[in-house]
Structure formats: structure tokens, C-alpha cells
Structure 1
Amino acid sequence: MLVADRIVRMKTVLARAGLSRSTIYRKIAEGTFPAQVRISVNGAGWRESDIDRWIADPAGWRATNEPTKGRKDDDRTDAIRT
């Protein structure tokens, strides 16, 4: 049976990661910290499992499992022919 992954908010991430808010956002942009997950129009959080993996190996963590924007197979315009 699968267990649902908990979504944690910024306050929890700050406490667990031991980083400042600006450092977290900088590391997200660099691809060295897990990206947020949108949970509502005005809310976002992190999957707790992603934070756990980052804490286990902060120097070795890379955003290889994150979806990349602008990938060729994500571009749906190729399917539309006029």
C-alpha cells in the first residue's frame, strides 16, 4: 500500500534544512534544492520525501527527478499541424 507524501510549508523547511529563505530560493534556481509543489492558487510547499533526500545528501542532491520546462517532448505544439 502506498503512503501519501506529506506536503510541508516554508517554516518546516527552514527549520529542517537550516538554511535561510533566500538561500533556499537561490538553491532552487541552481537546481541544488527541491522545487516547491503548487498546492493552491496562493500556496506552495515541498514534498517531505524530497526534503528528506536533500537532508541525507545536500552536496550530492541534484534536481534530476524534477520535470524540466521546455523539454522537446513536453512541447505540444509539434502535434498541431496546419
Structure 2
Amino acid sequence: MRVIRFDDVIALTGLSKSTIYRRMEEKQFPKSISLGGRSVGWYEHEVKEWLNSLKPSDT
């Protein structure tokens, strides 16, 4: 399992940081994992699965 950081998530999804945080609060985006300190990451496969599940009007 590959863990990706915020910049990679932004590049992969095309979403802004604030949109990602908002969707996380609404439980509409994969949950981040703690990497220690203030660092977070996401499992790449979860983000890709989330992207594949979207309808064209969801982005």
C-alpha cells in the first residue's frame, strides 16, 4: 500500500485543500492517516477508488 501526501492528493483529484477538508468533514472523501507530528497522508488506492466511484457531476 502506497501512502501519498497532500500535494499528491491535490494533483490526483484536482481539488483544492479546502474542498478536500470539507469533503472529509462531510464523510465524502477517504480518511487521512497520521504519519506522525502534524503530517498526514492517504492510501493511494482509497483515493483512486473514491475517484472511480464519482459521477461526472460530483467533482
How many positions carry a matched residue from both structures?
Answer: 55
Indicate the residue corresponding to 1:18 in structure 2. 14
Q: Deviations over 1:21-62 (max 9, x none)?
A: 000000000011011100112211000111010110125xxx
Q: Report 1:1-82 matches (<5 A).
A: 5-59=1-55
Q: What's the % identity of the aligned pairs?
A: 35
Letter of the structure 2 residue corresponding to residue 28 of structure 1: M
The RMSD of aligned alpha carbons is 1.0
Structure ranking higher in helix proportion: 2
Secondary structure of 1:51's counterpart equals helix
Unaligned stretches of 5+ residues in structure 2: none
Q: Aligned partners of 1:27, 1:45: CA distance in 2, in Å? A: 15
Runs of 4+ in 1 over 6 A off after TM superposition: none
Unaligned stretches of 5+ residues in structure 1: 60-82
Secondary structure of 2:15's counterpart equals coil
